[in-house]
Each structure stands twice: as C-alpha cells, then as structure tokens.
Amino acid sequence: MRTKPLSRILSTRSIRAPWPTSLAVALRVGIAAVLVALTAPAPAQTGDGSTSAAPDAAAVAEDGDWVVGSAEEWEEDAALGRRLLRGKVRIDREDGSGHLYADEVEMFYDPDGDTRKVDTMQARGNVNLREADFLATSDTADFTDGTAVIDLTGSVVVFIDRDRMEADRFRYDRRTGKKNAQGNVRFRFRLPSQEGEAPAQAAAETDGETTGQEITDGATDAAGQSDAEQHGGSED
C-alpha cells in the first residue's frame, strides 16, 4: 500500500493547529522547500558564461534525493508562503554530502506557484552549514536567488579542506563557485611544498619549535572542524 508523501500530509494540516513542542517533530522532508536549498544542484555554468537551469525539484525528489531532519516546532502559513522550523533544527542530506543546522530556519515561497520551490530562506542562531567543498559556522545565513546565493554573517568561520578563514561576512554563489569574505578577515592557508624543499623530518630537526607550533595549530584547526561537523544548533 502506497502512502501519501509527507509533504501532502503536512500541507493538509491546518496552520492554526498547534504543533507539539515537547517532542522533536520528525521530518521526512519530501517537499523541496528544504530539498532545493541543500540537495538540488546549482545551475551549471556554460562555456559562454550563461547558466543552465537546475533540475526541477520534483524530478530531483523522484530520483531518490532525500533530506531528513528534526525540529521542536514546525509552522506554516500557506497564504503568506511562509514556513518556520524552530528549536534545534537539523537538516541532513541522506547521502551525507551536506547539512544545515540552526536554532531556527524560516523559508518563503510563492503561495500561488510551486510551494516546494523556495525563493528566500534564513537560518538564525548557531548556524552550521556544510556544502560540497566547505564547512562554515555563523550567527545567521541568508539564502537568496532561489537559495543559489548564501550570505553568512556574524562570527563567521569557514573551513575549506585544511584551510581556515574568519570574517564578519562570507558570501558564496553556488552557481559560479565564487566566494568572498569581508570584514576583519583572518586566514590560515597551507602552502604547497616547493620542489627541492627539504623533507619534513629534516625541517623538524632543524626547527623543532616552529614545526611543533605548526603541528599544534594544525591539530587545533582539525579539532575545530571536527567539532563544527558534529555540532549545530543550540543545545540549550
């Protein structure tokens, strides 16, 4: 027996009916409201600089791309085209390739159009975002242009591979892959080894203090990245 998708079940429930706040609301998110933000590929850039359209969200869902999540409260106003997830929000792509954690996530869509297609979205409080090529934490995250552009603000820390960057604001365009950091930018990048450079062990023997500090800093960054990957949203 085939059951109705969760999105249809949710859409038929009155927005006036109170959602339980004492227990986390398990969300098997079949709607593309969140699916588009985390799983739908951004439009690909063609050779002439234009972009091709991303796959339709419904088609993506039919192909088996799913996200799962939880929150303490779900609220929706279909007349305004607004959804709100509140309290320890956790949204994960099932294949492990991306996630969004925050204290609350608010989404807006066209109430007269495809309600699965998000126009703008904002995550607030203890934001933890993982994309294909970076991991970031911030106070807020704004998704615009159909969630193709991500703006992180407030105590931003970004990890790209083993590199680390801090800034007041970090902007990422998923369509082009361009990234921009502004305000009190601090970074730590690992330079590639140069041809003819002394082996790492020899360098350690000649400059043990510097190498030891580098190892310590590297371990600190690795620990910070691991902690960011495992924790998101307020635990209060």
CA distance readout (Å), 229 to 8, 36, 128? 32, 21, 8
Q: How far apart are CA 200 and CA 108, in angstroms?
A: 52
The answer for residues whose C-beta is within 8 angstroms of residue 115's C-beta and 6 or more apart is: 11, 31, 33, 78, 81, 109
- CA nearest to 147, candidates 51, 77, 217, 42: 42
Confidence (pLDDT) at 97? 85
Confidence (pLDDT) at 216? 41
Predicted TM-score (pTM) of this structure: 0.63
Beta carbons of 48 and 91 less than 8 angstroms apart:
no
Confidence (pLDDT) at 153? 98
Confidence (pLDDT) at 10? 37
Q: How far apart are CA 68 and CA 26, in angstroms?
A: 8
pLDDT in tens, 91-101: 999 888 899 99
CATH topology of domain 6-230: lipopolysaccharide transport protein A fold (2.60.450)
- CA nearest to 134, candidates 81, 90, 178, 85: 178
- Map out the domains of the chain as residue ranges: 6-230
Beta carbons of 168 and 145 less than 8 angstroms apart:
no
pLDDT in tens, 157-194: 999 888 999 999 999 998 998 999 999 999 999 888 87
Beta carbons of 36 and 58 less than 8 angstroms apart:
no
Q: Which residues of the chain have pLDDT under 70?
A: 1-65, 196-236
